[in-house]
C-alpha cells in the first residue's frame, strides 16, 4: 500500500531530469499541485516531483474537486521549467495525457485513449485527469506544474461518478504504482523533449493515433452556444479545430466548453 512513500519508483527511473529534482513525497497533502507550486516559486529544480497517498483538497480544472482517497491512485505533480515560449506551455497537457496513455498501455495492455483536452479514458470513462498550472518564480522564470490523478484501485472516485469514472483495478490486476510512476515520468520527459524541439508537430502523430476526439464527431457545449461537428486537429496553442455542419472550421478553447462524443461523455 505504501510503495509511494518507500519511493519504489526512483530506482526504476530512466529519465535525465524528470523525477530527479527536489522531490516531495508525503502521506497526506492538500494538493500536490499547490504544494509543488510553492516549492517552484522558491526555486525547486526542473523535474521535481510531488506525490502523496492522499489529497485533502485535490483539484480539477475551473475550481472543480478531484477525489483522491488514501492509497487508491497516483496523485502526482511534476515541476517543469520548459525550454519553450510561455504560449506553448499549454501543449504540456497533451504531453502528460500522452505519457499516461503510453505508460498504461505498456504496463497494463489496456486500450486507453486521450480525450481532448485533458482526460485519459477507458471504456468511455475517465481513468485519469490532467491539471496544468503555470507560474513565475522569484527570478521571473516561467514554470509549469503538471498534475495527474490516475485511478488505480477501486474506491478512487465516489460512487456517484461510476458512470463516468473508472479505475485500473476494475479491468486488470494493476501493476505496482511505482512502476506506473516511473513509466509515466519517462514518457513525459520524452514527449516534453519532442515539444521543446519541434512544438506540437513533435507529438502530433502519436497524439492523433491515441486520441478518441480527433477524427470523431463531437458536440461542443458552451455557455452561449452548442454545435456539432468533426474534430479535425489541435493547433499550436492547444485549441481544438472543429469543422461544423456548414463546413466552417471553428476554434474551440479548453475551459470554455465541454466536448462530448455523439454517444455521451467520450
Ligand atoms: C481534471 O479536472 O481532470 C484534472 C484532475 C487533476 C488531478 C490531479 S491529482 C494530482 C494533482 N493535484 C491536484 O490537486 N490535482 C492534480 P476536470 O477536467 O475539471 O475534471 C474534474 C471532474 O472529474 C470533477 O468535477 C468530477 O466530475 C470528476 N472527478 C473527480 N474525481 C475523479 C476521479 N478520481 N476520477 C474520475 N473523475 C473524477
Query: Could you give the CA distance from residue 185 to residue 18 in angstroms, rounded to a whole number?
Result: 6
Ligand 1 centre distance from Cα of residue 127 (Å): 10
CA of residue 141 to ligand 1 center, whole Å: 27
Query: Integer distance in angstroms from the first to the last C-alpha of the chain?
Result: 31
Cα distances (angstroms) measured from residue 65 to each of 56, 121, 131, 158, 236:
10, 18, 11, 12, 28
User: Distances from the Cα of 112 to the Cαs of 6, 125, 168, in angstroms?
Assistant: 28, 10, 10
For ligand 1, atom 36: residue with the closest CA: 165
Residue 47 in contact with ligand 1 by CB distance below 6 A:
no
Cα(115) to centroid(ligand 1), Å: 14
Residue environment code for 179-198, b if the CB has 16+ CB neighbours within 10 A, otherwise e: bbbbbbbbbbbbbbbbbbee
The reply to whether ligand 1 has any atom less than 6 angstroms from the CB of 124 is: no
245 CA to centre of ligand 1 in angstroms: 32
Cα gap 48→40, rounded to integer Å: 9
Nearest CA to ligand 1 atom 16: 147
Confirm if 108 and 174 have CB atoms less than 8 A apart.
yes
pLDDT of residue 52: 97
* pLDDT value of position 260: 76
Give pLDDT, residue 1.
45
Q: Is the CB of 21 under 6 A from ligand 1?
A: no
Task: Spell out, as residue ranges, where the chain has pLDDT lower than 70.
Answer: 1-7, 256-257, 262-266
Q: How far is the CA of 123 from the centre of ligand 1 (A)?
A: 18
Asked whether 60 lines ligand 1 (CB < 6 A), one says yes
The number of the ligand 1 atom at minimal distance from the alpha carbon of 61 is 19
Amino acid at each position: 500500500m505504501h510503495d509511494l512513500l518507500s519511493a519504489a519508483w526512483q530506482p526504476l527511473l530512466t529519465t535525465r531530469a524528470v523525477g530527479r529534482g527536489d522531490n516531495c513525497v508525503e502521506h497526506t497533502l492538500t494538493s500536490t499541485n499547490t504544494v509543488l507550486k510553492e516549492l517552484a516559486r522558491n526555486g525547486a529544480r526542473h523535474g521535481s516531483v510531488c506525490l502523496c497517498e492522499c489529497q485533502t483538497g485535490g483539484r480539477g480544472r475551473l475550481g472543480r474537486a478531484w477525489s483522491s482517497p488514501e492509497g487508491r491512485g497516483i496523485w502526482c505533480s511534476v515541476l517543469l521549467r520548459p525550454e519553450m515560449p510561455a504560449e506553448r506551455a499549454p501543449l504540456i497537457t497533451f504531453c502528460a495525457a500522452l505519457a499516461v496513455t503510453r505508460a498504461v498501455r505498456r504496463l497494463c495492455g489496456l486500450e486507453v485513449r486521450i480525450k481532448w483536452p485533458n482526460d485519459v479514458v477507458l471504456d468511455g470513462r475517465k481513468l485519469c485527469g490532467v491539471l496544468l498550472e503555470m507560474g513565475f518564480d522569484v527570478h521571473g522564470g516561467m514554470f509549469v506544474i503538471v498534475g495527474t490523478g490516475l485511478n488505480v484501485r477501486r474506491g478512487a472516485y465516489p460512487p456517484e461518478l461510476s458512470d463516468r469514472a473508472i479505475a485500473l483495478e476494475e479491468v486488470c490486476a494493476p501493476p505496482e504504482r511505482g512502476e506506473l510512476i516511473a513509466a509515466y515520468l519517462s514518457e513525459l520527459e520524452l514527449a516534453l523533449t519532442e515539444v521543446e524541439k519541434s512544438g506540437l508537430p513533435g507529438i502530433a502523430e502519436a497524439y492523433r493515433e491515441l486520441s478518441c476526439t480527433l477524427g470523431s464527431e463531437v458536440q461542443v457545449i458552451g455557455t452561449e452556444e452548442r454545435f456539432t461537428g468533426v474534430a479535425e486537429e489541435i493547433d499550436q496553442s492547444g485549441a481544438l479545430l472543429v469543422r461544423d455542419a456548414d463546413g466552417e472550421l471553428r476554434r474551440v478553447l479548453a475551459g470554455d466548453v465541454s466536448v462530448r462524443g455523439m454517444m455521451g461523455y467520450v
